[in-house]
Amino acid sequence: MTYRILALLFTLFAFVAPSLAQDDPRELINALGEANFREAEQLIGQIAQTGDARVVPMLEAFAEGNLFVRKADGIVVTAKEEGRNLEAFDALTGESLGEGPKAAFTKIRVNNNLRRALRSALGGLTLLSPDRAVRLSAAQAVLQSPSPENLELVEAALAKETDAEVKTRMEQARAVSLLASDRSIDEKRAAIETVASLGGREAIGILMSASNSLDESLKPDLDTAIAQIESKLRLWDAAENVWYGISLGSVLLLAAIGLAITFGVMGVINMAHGEMVMIGAYSTFVVQQVIRTNYPGLFDWSLAIALPVAFLVTAVVGLVIERGVIRFLYGRPLETLLATWGVSLILQQSVRTIFGPTNQEVGNPSWMSGSFMLGGMTITWNRLWIVLFALTIFFALLALMKKSSFGLQMRAVTQNRRMASSMGIRTPWVDAFTFALGSGIAGIAGVALSQIDNVSPNLGQAYIIDSFMVVVFGGVGNLWGTLVGAMSLGILNKFLEPSVGAVLGKILVLVLIILFIQKRPRGLFALKGRAVEA
* Percent of residues in the chain assigned helix, strand, coil, to nearest 5: 70, 5, 20
Pairwise CA distance, residues 69 & 76, whole Å: 4
CB distance 53 to 125 below 8 Å: yes
The answer to whether 511 contacts another protein (rule: CB under 8 A) is yes
Instruction: Annotate each residue in 266-305 with x if it binds another protein (CB under 8 A) or - if it does not, as one string.
Output: ---x-x----------------------------------
Burial environment of residue 521 by CB neighbours within 10 A (0 to 12, 13 to 18, 19 or more): exposed
Burial environment of residue 263 by CB neighbours within 10 A (0 to 12, 13 to 18, 19 or more): buried
Site for another protein in 386-405 (CB under 8 A): none
Per DSSP, helices labelled H in 426-501 are 427-449, 459-474, 479-500
The answer to whether 313 contacts another protein (rule: CB under 8 A) is no
Selected from 75, 226, 391, 517, the binder of another protein by CB under 8 A is 517
The answer to whether 503 contacts another protein (rule: CB under 8 A) is yes
Selected from 236, 299, 330, 341, the binder of another protein by CB under 8 A is 341
Residue 451 C-alpha from the chain's centroid: 14
Candidates 138-146, 153-161, 238-246, 331-339: pick the segment binding another protein (CB under 8 A).
Answer: 331-339
105-107 and 377-380 strand pairing: unpaired
Pairwise CA distance, residues 307 & 256, whole Å: 17
Candidates 206-214, 240-248, 326-334, 432-440: pick the segment binding another protein (CB under 8 A).
Answer: 326-334
Instruction: Provide the angle, in degrees to the nearest 10, between the axes of the packed helices 302-324 and 333-355.
Output: 130
Candidates 82-90, 151-159, 220-228, 337-345: pick the segment binding another protein (CB under 8 A).
Answer: 337-345
Candidates 12-20, 207-215, 278-286, 347-355: pick the segment binding another protein (CB under 8 A).
Answer: 347-355
Burial environment of residue 515 by CB neighbours within 10 A (0 to 12, 13 to 18, 19 or more): exposed
Instruction: Annotate each residue in 429-468 with x if it binds another protein (CB under 8 A) or - if it does not, as one string.
Output: --------------------------------x---x--x
Candidates 29-37, 200-208, 360-368, 518-526: pick the segment binding another protein (CB under 8 A).
Answer: 518-526
- CB count within 10 Å of CB 114 equals 19
- For the residues of 102-160, what is the DSSP string, one character each? GGGEEEPP--HHHHHHHHHHHHHHHTT-S-HHHHHHHHHHHHHS--GGGHHHHHHHHHH
Minimum distance of another protein from residue 365's CB (angstroms): 33
Minimum distance of another protein from residue 420's CB (angstroms): 23
Size of the site for another protein (CB under 8 A): 41
Selected from 111, 353, 366, 369, the binder of another protein by CB under 8 A is 353
Selected from 20, 208, 238, 345, the binder of another protein by CB under 8 A is 345
Residue 378 phi/psi, 5-degree rounding, is -95, 130
Nearest to 335 by CA among 343, 326, 346: 326
Minimum distance of another protein from residue 486's CB (angstroms): 16
* C-alpha distances in Å from residue 227, one per residue of 43, 185, 233, 418: 39, 21, 10, 67
Question: In terms of CB distance, is 37 or 328 closer to another protein?
Answer: 328
Question: In terms of CB distance, is 113 or 350 closer to another protein?
Answer: 350
Q: What are the residues binding another protein (CB under 8 A)? A: 269, 271, 325, 328-329, 333-335, 337-339, 341-346, 348-350, 352-353, 461, 465, 468-469, 472, 503-504, 506-507, 510-511, 513-515, 517-519, 521-522
